[in-house]
Amino acid sequence: MRTYQIFLIEDEFAHHYYGREKLFFNLFLEYIQARGRLKSILQKQIEFVTKTVPIIQLQVAIEQRLQKKMNFWSQNGKYYLEKTSGSSKAVLIIHDDSITLKADGDYEAETAFFECIRKYEASFLAIDFEHEKYGWLKPIKERKFV
């Protein structure tokens, strides 16, 4: 099973740290592992660089984009998507400070959720802590000055 934590990064920080996503990964990982006063300090840093997830608006966007899929449903604030053959399953849970996506099988179901989130907002960063993978759902285009 793959588990992703998806954070909405403030635009200013998303642009400034584009290409250096590992710094965000390290910040979130250090927070998870921290104790006591250090955890409190890291929490303030995370609150500073992230935005609150717009739960209602994101729920509407997900429902509008995925309601036509045969194997999409929601229950108790969770969204489920399963490929007909059962070879791809994903569940999405939206929190105030992040989104959790759990997926199993091939990548079709999780990709559908990623697409919905990506189309809603540009500065979502997905992190898979277990496999140490991370990246923008929608890569930020670098400005080119001529």
Average pLDDT over residues 11-38: 95
pLDDT (0 to 100) of residue 146: 46
Mean of the per-residue pLDDT values for the chain?
91
The model's pLDDT over 118-141, given as tens digits with 9 standing for 90+, comes to 999 989 999 999 999 999 998 655
| Range from 55-64, 83-92, 137-146 carrying the lowest mean pLDDT | 137-146
pLDDT (0 to 100) of residue 131: 95
Cβ(9)–Cβ(24) below 8 Å: yes
Average pLDDT over residues 42-65: 95
Average pLDDT over residues 70-92: 89
Structure tokens at 36: 């006591």
**Order of strands across the sheet that contains 124-128:** 72-75, 78-82, 88-94, 99-105, 2-8, 124-128, 133-136
Average pLDDT over residues 97-108: 95
On the question of pLDDT at 144 being above 80, the answer is: no
